[in-house]
Structure 1
Amino acid sequence: MKFVDAYFSRENRYALGVEQEAGRYYASLPVSNGVVDYEEYYELTKAQFDHFRAEPDDAIEFIEACRRREHDDLLIQKPGWNRGTPV
């Protein structure tokens, strides 16, 4: 998979982009499991992606829900046994 960010919010610590191989849209956030830091990628619809790109502050509620693990069904890559916590 090749994730390409189209937008990044340093302040709110999330990114929006497109996974190039499948053409899926995503929101990502940084996590750490104490051994490695990595990104979790949550699939977005095209409409969500377009809206969040146009109004980045509107994505914050969605990102915070992802941090609370309320959208795990949208994870593009399922975490392993040593899942990280949001940083």
Structure 2
Amino acid sequence: MKFQDALVHQEHRFCLGIEQVSGRFYVSIPVSNSMVDYEEYYEIDRKTFDLFRCDPDAALPFVARCRKHELDELLIVRPGANRGTAI
């Protein structure tokens, strides 16, 4: 998979982008476990991507739910046993 960020929101620590191979849109958040820092990628549709890109603050409730693991069904890559916590 090749994740290409289209928007990086440094203040609220999330990114929007497109996975280049499949064309799927995503929101990613940084996470960390005891061994590594990495990103989790949550799939969104094109309409949501366009909304969040034009109005990044509209993404904040979605990002908050991702950090609480409430939208795990949208994960593009499933986490391993040592899942990290949001940074």
TM-score by length of 2: 0.99
Q: CA RMSD in A?
A: 0.3
Q: Give the Cα–Cα distance (whole angstroms) in 2 for the partners of residues 16 and 2 of structure 1.
A: 13
CA-CA distance at 1:39 after TM superposition? 0.2
CA-CA distance at 1:34 after TM superposition? 1.5
TM-score by length of 1: 0.99
**Which residues of structure 1 form unaligned runs of 5+?**
none
Match of 2:17 in 1: 17
Q: Give the Cα–Cα distance (whole angstroms) in 2 for the partners of residues 18 and 76 of structure 1.
A: 12
User: Is 1:3 equivalent to 2:31 in the alignment?
Assistant: no
User: Is 1:58 equivalent to 2:54 in the alignment?
Assistant: no
Q: Give the Cα–Cα distance (whole angstroms) in 1 for the partners of residues 44 and 62 of structure 2.
A: 10
**Which residues of structure 2 form unaligned runs of 5+?**
none
Name the % identity: 55
Q: Where does structure 1 differ by over 4 angstroms across 4 or more consecutive aligned residues?
A: none
Q: Give the Cα–Cα distance (whole angstroms) in 1 for the partners of residues 53 and 34 of structure 2.
A: 31
